[in-house]
């Protein structure tokens, strides 16, 4: 997981804790994100960051891909083509509207997408 994503996840956790602390003090609760994160298409950096922070506060969602957890902590450029095929199989079995959530799930699980897959995944996200 890259340093900016780790910092973003930590910031989200701190922000949620601070929000809960404020609500106990009688102040209005801070809202992390407005709207539905399924509308984030990657073109708006703020939307993507807010949705990542929101996702960091929820349980990780799996897409029948628990076997990919063994790749946690691996750099994106270290995958063999056979290992990248395991990611491709999961990608091909999901609905196109699930791809953004899947990539967030991988990020939250410290799993980097193989370099061999990045262009293909970006096509789904556009």
Please tell me the predicted confidence (pLDDT) of residue 51. Answer: 73
pLDDT in tens, the chain (126 residues): 566 656 656 655 655 555 565 555 554 444 444 456 666 666 777 777 777 677 667 788 899 999 999 999 999 999 999 999 999 999 999 999 999 999 999 999 999 999 999 999 999 888
Between CA 50 and CA 67 the distance in angstroms is 28
Report the greatest alpha carbon distance in the chain: 55
In the three-class reduction of DSSP (H, G, I as helix; E, B as strand; rest coil), residue 88 is classed as helix
Q: What is the pTM of this model?
A: 0.59
Instruction: Provide CB contacts within 8 A for 97, sequence distance 6+.
Output: 38
**How many Cβ atoms are within 10 Å of 38's Cβ, its own excluded?**
11
**How many Cβ atoms are within 10 Å of 103's Cβ, its own excluded?**
20
Paired tokens of 116: 């061999």
Q: Half-sphere exposure of 19 toward its Cβ, with a 13 Å CA cutoff?
A: 13
Count of residues in the chain: 126
3-state class percentages of the chain: helix first, strand second, coil last, to nearest 5: 65, 0, 35
């Amino acid at each position: 997981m890259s340093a900016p994503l780790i910092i973003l996840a930590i910031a989200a956790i701190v922000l949620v804790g601070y929000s809960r602390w404020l609500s106990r003090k009688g102040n209005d609760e801070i809202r992390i994100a407005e709207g539905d994160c399924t509308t984030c298409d990657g073109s708006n950096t703020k939307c993507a960051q807010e949705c990542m922070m929101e996702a960091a506060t929820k349980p990780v969602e799996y897409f029948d891909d628990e076997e990919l957890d063994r790749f946690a902590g691996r750099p994106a450029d270290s995958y063999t083509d056979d290992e990248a095929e395991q990611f491709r199989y999961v990608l091909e079995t999901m609905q196109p509207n699930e791809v953004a959530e899947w990539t967030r799930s991988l990020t939250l699980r410290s799993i980097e997408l193989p370099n061999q897959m990045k262009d293909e995944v970006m096509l789904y996200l556009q």
